[in-house]
Structure 1
Amino acid sequence: MLELKTPQEIAAMDVTGSFIAELLDDLAQRARPGVNLLDLEHRARDLIAERGAESCYWDYAPSFGSGPFRNVICLSVNDAVLHGLPHDYVLADGDLLTMDIAVSIHGWVADSARSIIVGTPRPQDQRLIRATEEALAAGISAAQPDNRLGDISAAIGAVAADYGYRVNTDFGGHGLGRTMHEDPHVPNVGRAGRGLRLRPGLTLALEPWFAAGTDRIVYDPDGWTLRSADGSRTAHSEHTIAITDGAPLVLTRRERVTEQTSTAATGTAG
């Protein structure tokens, strides 16, 4: 069942989204060659505790996972793309790292993911990340009132096709609000003009993710981490958005972190 949010409830989700943007920015700056994934996990735990937030991942036990997830962030490296279980792995120069996190503040959830390159970038990895970011931007642009859910999916899928990447349909975006996963499911490929009509108050996590060489995925023995079936590199970009009467609101946008940092550095005229 769909639950449309009031402007006040969207404002509450925006607070959570702002925190997530700050947290991912902090971790991105710390992700350097020689850093252990477990260090990033524990940094995320500390930030969540300091903010008085709650992890949506801790003890999460969906049908697609193996038992309760006992971490607060998904960290996926290179050919791993979704649900990466933080473990004792030291990041190497050139690794492609995806960070995905959802938290709740005062009962309102936001969800975001970002892929970065650790150390020296490879052009093909930069291209892959750029494709997910452009697909996410296209999906957000299509999230207009009275459009259809298929317009979002088609916009994301069109960018993947332009880059020559195939789209997996097993996992995609989703609704969220009081909980991390609500209706509707948002595929990363679809037909424009089809599906649910978008209405103000609908809040969605859009999350295009692509593998360089395949649309098939396999599970690690840990029962959580999903990898490309052919071992090719992967990338994932995600934002939480709200449908409004006008342009969609991006509740987990990174730009806000930059703006806040710039204001703090320059001060304001009195």
Structure 2
Amino acid sequence: MPPPPARSYANRTTCPVRPCKRPAPLPSPFLGYHPQLALRPFPAAVRCTSVNAAIVHGLPGPYRLHDGDLVSIGCDASVDSWAGDATVSFAAGTPSPANPVDPKLMETTRQALEAGVTAAVVGARVGDSAHTVGRDRTDAPISRR
């Protein structure tokens, strides 16, 4: 059986997605992105590769995934002056009683997503939606493995 995958993919400088009519991978739009309030530029091509307790913006490391790990992968794309991103979360391999994915965590994140989408209305700022996602979730009954 091969070893579980490492999270080193995020070290790459290009994403291996090959859009129609493009012969080569596109450079990551967020590698080196440096917002004003950040201490340093973002060092990875895949914007978010978060595992278990890492909430967002996980960085590459030597950790190898195990059955039941909660994995969230965020992908980004940009075209001209437009940028967008999407994230998917899933259990790696097969969760087991020894290493289950916390259903309360999954439900809390689903509720946070719904709240953020509901807050994304014409005239609102992105920060309004982000605040709504985080509000009332810091005390959610989730495990912190």
Q: Same fold (TM over 0.5)?
A: yes
Residue 112 of structure 1 aligns to a residue whose secondary structure is: strand
Q: CA deviation at 1:58?
A: 0.6
CA contact (8 A) 2:52 2:70 kept: yes
Give the counterpart letter for 1:67 in structure 2. R
Alpha carbons 2:28, 2:76 under 8 Å: kept: yes
Structure 2 length as normaliser, TM-score?
0.66
Higher relative contact order (CA 8 A, sep 6+): 1
Alignment correspondent of 1:135: 112
Note if 1:107 corresponds to 2:81: yes
* SS of residue paired to 1:100: strand
Structure 2: distance between partners of 1:66 and 1:140? 29
Q: Is the 8 A contact 1:101 1:113 kept in 2?
A: yes
Distance 1:98 1:66 in 2: 23
Distance 2:116 2:129 in 1: 10
Instruction: Rate the CA distance shift 1:99–1:55 in 2: closer, same or farther, 3 A.
Output: same
- Give the match for residue 86 of structure 1: 60
SS at match of 1:82: coil
Q: 1:118 to 1:106 in 2, by over 3 A?
A: same
Could you say which residue in structure 1 is the equivalent of 2:8?
38
Greater CA drift, 55-64 or 73-82: 55-64
- For structure 2, which runs of at least 5 residues remain unmatched after alignment? none
Does the residue aligned with 2:15 lie in a helix, a strand or coil?
helix
| 1:65 Cα offset (Å) | 3.9
Change (3 A) 1:89 1:53: same
Contact 1:116 1:129 in 2 (8 A): no
- Mark the CA change 1:50 to 1:108 in structure 2 (over 3 Å): closer, same or farther: farther
Gaps of 5+ in 1: 1-32, 150-173, 176-183, 190-207, 216-230, 234-270
Q: Which amino acid aligns with 1:61?
A: H
Q: Which amino acid aligns with 1:127?
A: K
Structure 1: how far apart are the matches of 2:8 and 2:84? 23
Residue number in structure 2 paired with 1:252: none
Q: Assess if the C-alpha contact under 8 Å between 2:13 and 2:45 holds in 1.
A: no
SS in 2 for 1:70: coil
How far the C-alpha of 1:84 sits from its partner, in A, is 0.8
Tell me, in whole angstroms, the C-alpha distance in 1 between the residues paired with 2:62 and 2:92: 17
Distance change >3 Å, CA 34–CA 60, structure 1 → 2: same
Question: Equivalents in 2 of 1:135, 1:70: separation in Å?
Answer: 27
Residue 144 (structure 2) aligns with = 232
Shift of 1:137: 2.9
CA distance in structure 2 between the aligned counterparts of 1:139 and 1:111, rounded to whole angstroms: 14
